[in-house]
Amino acid sequence: MIKRYEFVFVLPGKLEKETLDEEKKKLRDLLTAHKATVKEEVDWGKKQLAYPIKHEQTGYYSIWTVEAATSVLREIIRIMNFQDSVLRYAMLQI
Q: Which domain holds residue 80?
A: 2-93
Residues written for the chain: 94
Amino acid at 53: I
Nearest in space to 38 (alpha carbons), one of 48, 30, 46: 30
User: What's the pLDDT score for residue 74?
Assistant: 87
Q: Are 10 and 60 in contact (CB under 8 A)?
A: yes
Show pLDDT as tens, one digit a residue, over the chain (94 residues).
899 999 999 999 999 999 999 999 999 999 999 999 999 999 999 999 999 999 999 999 999 999 999 888 888 989 999 988 999 999 999 9
0.75 exceeded by the pTM? yes
Count of structural domains within the chain: 1
pLDDT at 73: 87
| CATH number, residue 87 | 3.30.70.60
pLDDT score for 71: 86
CA 16 to each of CA 38, 46, 74, 77: distance values in angstroms, whole numbers, following the listed order: 23, 11, 31, 26
Q: Report in angstroms the alpha-carbon separations of 72 from 5, 43, 75, 76.
A: 13, 25, 5, 6
